[in-house]
Structure 1
Amino acid sequence: MNDDWHMLADEERLFCDLLTRICAERIAPKAADTDENATFVHDQLAILAEAGMLGANLPEEYGGSGISAPALLRAVAIVAGACGSTASALTAHYLATDSILIGGSEAQKQEWLPRAAIGTALGAFALTEPTAGSDPADMKTRARRTADGWHLKGAKCFISNGGVADFLVVYAVTDPEQGHRGISAFILPKGTPGFDPGPAERTMGLKGGHVFTLNIDCQLPPDALLGEEGRGFRTAMQVLDNGRIEVAAQCLGLAGAAMQAAIAYAKDRVIGGQALSERQGIRWMIADMGLAYRQALLLSQDAARQRQAAHDGSGGRFSLASSMAKLAASEAAGRIADTALQLHGGYGYTRDFPIERIARDLRIMRIYEGSSEIQRIIISGNMLA
C-alpha cells in the first residue's frame, strides 16, 4: 500500500516520514505504560509540539504547519498507530483551535492560535452534556449578559483534555427562545474562578487521553464570547465536520497497527510445522482486514480532499463525506481489531501483545463525535433531501 498517499506534496511526504520516525522512536514505546498507568500524555504532546503537530490543522499565518487536509489525515493516522491516547488528546486540541479558527475574531485568533500551535496552550472542546450528547440543541448550559460581560453556568461531560487544558471553548445557550440559533461559544481560560473540573473518568480505553466532567459557574469578560452571539451551533457543526475526519484518521492508524501486528504474527507463528499465514482460513481473515481497511481509507481520503476543497474555496460543505468516513472507518476498525485479536488466539487477549489495547482504544470511536447511529441519520438525511 505504498501508493496510498500519492496525492501528498513532496514536503508533506517528508513531514509524514519524519513524524513516522518520531512516533516509532519516542511515542510508541510509551504506549503500553501510558495505558497501564493511565497517565495523561503531556510528554507525548510536547514531543509532537516539537514536530509541529499541535498546529498541523492551522494555517501558517497563525503559527501552524499549513499542511493540506489529506496530509493531516495521514499525520493523525501515524500518531494513532503509535498511541491512541496521544492521538485522542491531540485531536481534542484540534477541536478547540478549529473552533477559534472558524468562529473567532481576528484578535482571538492572534491571542490563542500561535500559542496553541507551539504547544504552550492546550485546548479542549466543551460541547457534550449529560442531556445533550447527540443533540447539542438540547444543551442546558446557559450564558447571560451581565454588567461586566457574561455569566456562564452549567455542566459538561466526557470532555477530552477538559481538566488539563489551558483554555476551553465552551458552548452555551444565550437565547433559549432561538433553539440552535441561540447557542454561542465562549473561550474559558484555565484557572478562571468558578471552573471546577472533576477527576478524570475511568475509561475502558484511551486511558492516557483523559476525559472529564466539568462544572462551570464563571464570570467572563465581554471578549470571552467567541465571534458573534448566536453562531456557536454553526461553528460547532463545522468543527465536527473536521473532527469526524480526524476520528477516521485515528481509526485508520489504530486499525493499521492491529492489521500489521496480525500479519507479522501469522508469519512468525508456526503450528504443526506450518506458519499460520500458510493456512487458507488465516489468509481469508487477512484479506478481509485488508479490504475493510482499504474501503475506510478511500472514503477518508475523499472526505479529506473535500475538506481541502472547502478550505480553498472550490468546494462547499463536506458533512456527508465526513460522516461517511467516520462511520466507515470506525466500524471497519472495530472489525479489523477483532479479527486481529482472533488471529492471535489466546495471546491476543493478554496485555503482552498490543492488540487488546488497540481493541479497547477503538471502541469509543463508534460513539464520540456523533455515534454510528447519528452518522446514519446524517447520511440518510442527505440522501433523502
Structure 2
Amino acid sequence: MVEEFEQAIVDQVKRFAREVLLPQAERIDREELFVTRHQAALGDLGAMGMNLPETWGGLGLSGSALYQAVEAIAAVCGSTASMLTAHFLATDSVLIGGNEDQRAEILPLAASGKYLGAFALTEPGAGSNPAEMSTRARREGDGYRITGQKCFISNAAAADFIVVYAKSNPDAGARGISAYLIRPSEHAGVEISSHEKTMGLRGGHVFTVSLDCFVPASCLLGDEGQGFRTAMKVLDNGRIEVAAQATGIAGAALEAAIDYAKTRFVGGHPIADLQGLQWMLADSATELAAARGLGLNAARLRERRERFSVEASMAKLYASEAAWRIADRALQIHGGYGYTRAFPLERYLRDLRIFRIYEGSSEIQRNIIARTILNDGYRRPTS
C-alpha cells in the first residue's frame, strides 16, 4: 500500500509526465533526440533518486510507489523511462555493491540529477549469460587495467559514471567478476560510439563502450569477485522496473483503444458496440490487470526485503509479452490509422519490442522460473 506522502510524489510525477514529457514524446521519437534533455528537470523533481534511500539523497520510495512512478513516465514517453531506469541500474549497483565512501561520492549527486549513470554488463558475445564476458580487469600497479567492449549501454555517451563489470579472475567463472566505477571524463581510454539506430525507444540512446583504461584501486566497487552477485541483485530490481515500463505503455495503448472505439462510427454506431471488439478490450484489460498485479507483487516483496528474484522474472516475462499483445490489439482497433504516425500506436509497439530482450530475454526468464520452482518448489503468492 502506498503511503499518503508517496502518493503525493506519484501524483506529481504523473503531472510532470503529462505536462512536460507528453508534448515532446512524438518529436523525440521522430528526430531521435536524446532524452537526457529531461535530466535536470527529473532531478529537480526528485525522480532521478526515486530508487534511493533518503540517507543518500533519494526519495526513499517503497517498491510499490516506485513501480507506479516508472509506469506513469513510460505511459507518455518510453524513451525517458528507459533512460531513467538505466540510471537506476547504475545507482543500484553503487548502493548494493559499493562501500560507504563510494556511496557518499556518487549517490547524492546522482539522486539530484547532477550525475547520470550507466550500467555496463552486456557484451557482443555475452548477453544473456554475463558469466561468459571477456572484458578483463588486470592488476597494474596500484590499480587495474580494464580492457574489453560493452554494447547496448544506455546513457553511456552522457554518463558521468559507468559501472563496468569485468573479470578480475577469468578462471573463477561468475565468481571472478568484479565491478568498477569508471568516469569517462577522468579515465583515459574510454571510447564511446555514436548511438545505435534502434527500432524503438529512439530517444533512449544506447552505445558501444570500448575500454582500454587504467583506474585506481579505489574504483573497485566493493570487493573483487562480488560483481556478479551485485549485478544479479541489480537486475532483480531492474526487471520489476521493466514490468512497470511495459504496463505503462500498455495502459496508454488500451486507453487509446477505448477512446477510439467510442468515437469511431461505422453504419451509424460506434465500433465499441461490436461484441468482437468488446472481447478484444476485455482481454486487454484483464491481461493488463494481471501484469500489473505480478509487478506490484514483486515490488511489495522487494520493499519488505524478502526474496523476489523469481517473482521479478515472472513480472518481467508476463508484462513484456502481455503488453505487446495489448498494444497490437489497440493498433488493430484503430485499423489503418493505427499503422500511421498520426496515432502513437506504432510507437508503442516499437518501444515495447525490446522489453522481451533486454535485462534478460523472455527465454532466460523462463529458465530462471523453471529452475527455481524445480529446485525450491512453487511458493504461493502472499498478500
Displacement of 1:309 in angstroms is 1.1
Q: Which amino acid counterpart does residue 367 of structure 1 have in structure 2?
A: I
2:296 aligned residue (294, 301, 307): 301
2:345 aligned with 1:355: yes
2:195 aligned residue (195, 200, 203): 200
Q: Name the residue aligned to 2:381.
A: none
1:236 aligned residue (212, 231, 237): 231
Displacement of 1:177 in angstroms is 1.1
1:215 aligned residue (199, 210, 213): 210
CA distance in 2, matches of 1:327, 1:176: 31
Displacement of 1:48 in angstroms is 1.6
SS at match of 2:304: helix
Q: Which runs of 5+ in 2 are unaligned?
A: 376-383
Q: Name the residue aligned to 2:102.
A: 108
Q: Name the residue aligned to 1:365.
A: 355
Displacement of 1:51 in angstroms is 1.1
Please say if residues 36 and 83 of structure 2, whose CA atoms lie closer than 8 Å, have aligned partners that are also in contact: no
CA distance in 2, matches of 1:48, 1:276: 40
Moved over 6 A (4+): none
Q: Name the residue aligned to 2:240.
A: 245
CA distance in 2, matches of 1:14, 1:163: 33
SS at match of 1:171: strand
Which stretch of structure 1 is more off in the superposition, 111-120 or 187-196?
A: 187-196
Q: Name the residue aligned to 1:345.
A: 335
Displacement of 1:12 in angstroms is 1.0
CA distance in 2, matches of 1:290, 1:63: 37
CA distance in 2, matches of 1:143, 1:34: 37
Q: Which amino acid counterpart does residue 338 of structure 2 have in structure 1?
A: G
SS at match of 1:155: strand
1:91 aligned residue (70, 85, 104): 85
Structural mapping, 1:117-128, within 5 Å:
117-128=111-122
Please say if residues 71 and 247 of structure 2, whose CA atoms lie closer than 8 Å, have aligned partners that are also in contact: yes
Displacement of 1:43 in angstroms is 2.2
2:260 aligned with 1:288: no
| Residue deviations 1:176-213 (CA, integer Å, cap 9, x gap) | 11110000000000222100001100000000000001
2:191 aligned with 1:190: no
2:61 aligned with 1:67: yes
| Residue deviations 1:348-381 (CA, integer Å, cap 9, x gap) | 0001101100110000000000000000000000
Superposition TM-score, scaled by structure 2 size: 0.97
Taking every aligned residue pair, what percent have the same amino acid on both sides? 57
CA distance in 2, matches of 1:77, 1:262: 18
CA distance in 2, matches of 1:140, 1:215: 12
Aligned residue pairs, count: 374
CA distance in 2, matches of 1:47, 1:336: 31
Aligned-pair RMSD on alpha carbons? Answer: 0.7
Q: Which runs of 5+ in 1 are unaligned?
A: 1-6
SS at match of 2:6: helix
Q: Name the residue aligned to 1:333.
A: 323
Q: Which amino acid counterpart does residue 366 of structure 1 have in structure 2?
A: R
Q: Name the residue aligned to 1:4.
A: none
SS at match of 2:181: strand
Superposition TM-score, scaled by structure 1 size: 0.96
CA distance in 2, matches of 1:190, 1:9: 39
